[in-house]
Amino acid sequence: MARLGIRRTAERRKKIVAALSVFLEMYTAVSAFILLMASAASLNSYRPSTRRYSLESYPKREYVRRILNNNESCISLLRMNLQGFYKLCEMLESLGGLKPTRNIAIDEQVAIFLHILAHHVKNRVIQYNFRRSGESISRTFHKVLNAIMHLQGHLFRTPEPVPTNCTDNRWKWFKNCLGALDGTFIKVNVSSSVKIRYRTRKGDIATNVLGVCTPDMQFVYVLSGWEGSVADSRVLRDAISRTHALKVPHGCYYLVDAGYTNCEGFLAPFRGQRYHLNEWRQGYQPTNPQEFFNMKHAVARNVIERCFGLLKIRWGILRSPSYYPIKTHNRIIIACCLLHNFIRQVMQFDPMESELDEFDPAEGEMNLINTVDPSDAWTN
């Protein structure tokens, strides 16, 4: 009897152990299934790549929607029509590397940037209009600025010499001319320790910007960053000697004013003779060949003056000292010139040009000019 009781107890113990083993296996399997389902549910609920923006439903895009409502508001606030704006967004995305963020689409980023350039408003004003934080506005501005700087190879114009059969009354006198160049002062904010270097002859704190343009008022080359106290001729010497230099093939030239040296590649007017357009508008007529040349020279070279005037009319940030550091402001100047070219290329009619005063405006890597020296031949 004792042996029978011991045997039954052992069998009962084995059944209990087997039942416990089955229960543990089932518990493990159910737990694993529950964890798997929870993980799948969490993955399905987080899909940032499928996020979309809607002009109708996204409340913070109300101001963008009003700007892009029609051509008139787009030109007034962003300085270009809708077609040009969307083309610029496409170029910045495909060529400039601009990417949308989780909260700001590309069109809104570009609108913020253009609005700041056009109206030169402070960060807090943009915050109020676009309903974004100050940090987001600042970060967006620099992102778009970097993207536009990548478009220099696409937007700077390649100059073409004036052909021998040119019929334009302003340029037919200057065969093989590539355009005109000049310097302009743009006011900047700098530290007190360097203000004396940036002080111009008129006492303004500004940077001396060299601009080179074609006869159709598009920039070929822009060099910004020189102090306002520096002479134009020194800026030009730097422009043709640096790594990314202004290229002037032999046999071609640019028109320059009397502030530059008359030499190969740069044709200046006769000194000591009547030259400025205002003098000719007062009824004076040329009395000798030198004055006749100066009159034709002034009419053609006036294209760079109109280019600078249109640039400052279009972009308010160039009319007064900006709130950005000098290095950033120098890049902003180049970006404004690039956008100027873009607008001239995509818009058949430039409404800003009507605001200019009434003027009468009239390649290769080999064998390039790389010095600026006086030349008796070019003077003759």
| CA 90 to chain CA centroid, nearest Å | 14
Q: By C-alpha distance, which of 159, 115, 165 is closest to 137?
A: 115
- What's the CA gap between 348 and 364, in Å, rounded? 29
User: CB count, 10 Å around CB of 369?
Assistant: 20
Which residue positions in the chain have pLDDT lower than 50? 39-57, 358-367
pLDDT score for 25: 72
Q: What are phi and psi of 316, to 5 degrees?
A: -65, -25
Residues 6+ apart with CB under 8 A from 225: 207, 326, 330
pLDDT score for 15: 72
pLDDT score for 128: 92
Alpha-helical (H) ranges within the chain are 2-45, 62-67, 71-78, 82-94, 106-119, 123-130, 134-149, 152-155, 195-198, 232-241, 277-281, 289-314, 326-346, 376-379
pLDDT score for 347: 93
pLDDT in tens, 193-213: 999 999 999 999 999 999 999
- What's the CA gap between 369 and 367, in Å, rounded? 7
pLDDT score for 255: 97
User: CB count, 10 Å around CB of 167?
Assistant: 7
Distances (CA, A) of 204 to 6, 229, 236: 111, 10, 21
pLDDT score for 149: 97
pLDDT score for 56: 41
pLDDT score for 54: 43
- What's the CA gap between 313 and 98, in Å, rounded? 27
Any idea what DSSP says for residue 243? S
Residue ranges of the domains in the chain?
59-150, 159-379
Query: Judging by DSSP bridges, how do beta strands 253-255 and 177-187 pair with one another?
Result: parallel
Tokens of 22: 């089955």
Cβ atoms of 299 and 361 closer than 8 Å: yes
Tokens of 213: 């343009």
pLDDT in tens, 4-44: 556 666 677 777 767 667 666 776 666 656 655 554 443 34
pLDDT score for 136: 94
